[in-house]
A = this chain, B = another copy of it.
Amino acid sequence: MKKFINDPRDVVTDYLTGLEAAHPGVVRFDRDSRILLRAQPARGKVALVAGGGSGCEPLHTGFVGRGMLDAVCPGAIFTSPVPRQIIAATRAADAGAGVVHIVKNFTGEVMNFGIAQEIMAFDGIRAETVLVNDDVTVPDDDDSAGRRGLGATVLVEKIAGAAAERGDDLARVVAIARQVVARARTFSVGLTSCTTPERGRPTYVMAADEMDLGIGISGSPGRDRVPLAPARDVARMLADPVLDDLRPAPGAQLLVMLSGLGGTPESELYLLYGDVASHLRDRGFDPVRALVGNLVTSLDQQGAALTILALDDELTALWDAPVHTQALRWGM
């Protein structure tokens, strides 16, 4: 295993220490509670809290700051946080105007946020849950744990974050967040397995001429193993399931996020984005906003995830609103 780490048990804490050291004006790391907060807590606005297994950085820790999240509770690698962290993050973020929990639809994350909310209910603290489930890999029936929350999480955090920042009330922030969920879908392809610090070797083995369709985060294998294909074909394999499920109106304006999984260089992502954008245009859509980079990752896995959001004017304006976090920054 070739990683810049010290003790595998300390990777999350060591990462957060470095993040705070690099961006002291943006984030503060509360080591005792293992939560990450804005360096300057916001006042009087709806608070946004998220958290999930670590190893998916910059999700969520890279999105703490003005215009996005207020607090994040990162779990162990690929393991959702424990209720104690969720409670600490919620308490720290609460600025008196209500708290939104942005929860990715993974069994562990849903259950731990659920337990935390049950515990907090004793103290009269309430948080609204926005469940993100944008992965089109899984049919939306009861034969699985349900659609995973993937790339749409970033869009929810950014757009709901902008709504909260401009002063929208709790109900409105929640409604906007749910609208993003309703209008966004994701599909992913993996080229390699990731290597967790704990195990020190790839989680699974894949031949040199194979790729996995329908992976998620946390380095689980995908639903279908298929032959490796040129970028042009991968672009179609990613875009078609998303479009066919989302069914945007003809000519719809789209926000297109193409995220690497951590080990794919940005230059390859941009190359792939070019093929995605041209395929979207061929299918009659208008990709008016693009976000390309390693945004929702699985450690060092190679691969890419395509998330598409059908925009409207309000969502576009909230997307364009200023943001200042480690991983997303514009307008300030």
Contact = CB atoms under 8 A, between A and B. Distances in A.
A231 B4 contact: yes
Contacts of A192: 2
A5 interface: yes
Interface string A209-247: 001000000000000000010111010000000000000
Contacts of A264: 4, 300
Contacts of A327: 266
Nearest to A191: B2
Interface stretch (A122-130, A138-146, A289-297, A311-319): A289-297
Interface string A1-12: 111111100010
A192 B297 CA distance: 20
Contact of A268 (B3, B54, B234, B292): B3
Contacts of A18: 269-275, 277, 292
A19 interface: yes
A267 B15 contact: yes
A6 B208 contact: no
A2 B231 contact: no
A329 B325 CA distance: 12
A17 B332 contact: no
Q: How large is the interface on A (under 10, 10 to 19, 20 to 34, 35 or more residues)?
A: 35 or more
Given A228-B2, A290-B22, A265 B262 contact: yes
Protomer copies: 2
Contacts of A2: 191-192, 208, 211, 228, 302
Given A15-B267, A57-B265, A265-B57, A274 B4 contact: no
Given A15-B274, A232-B6, A265 B266 contact: no
Contact of A14 (B231, B263, B292): B231
Contacts of A57: 265-267, 270
Given A192-B2, A265-B294, A21 B230 contact: no
Given A21-B290, A273-B22, A331-B332, A299 B4 contact: no
A311 to B, nearest CB: 16
Contacts of A14: 231, 271, 274-275
A4 B277 contact: no
B292 A22 contact: yes
A51 interface: no
Contact of A329 (B231, B263, B268, B330): B330
Given A4-B272, A5-B268, A265-B300, 6 more contacts: A4-B268, A11-B271, A18-B272, A18-B273, A19-B274, A22-B270
Interface of A: 1-7, 11, 14-15, 17-19, 21-23, 54-55, 57-58, 62, 191-192, 208, 211, 228, 230-232, 234, 262-275, 277-278, 287, 290, 292, 294, 297, 299-300, 302, 304, 327, 329-332
- For the complex of A and B, 9 pairs with smallest distance between CB atoms: A18-B274, A22-B290, A18-B270, A57-B267, A262-B265, A2-B191, A4-B272, A4-B268, A21-B277
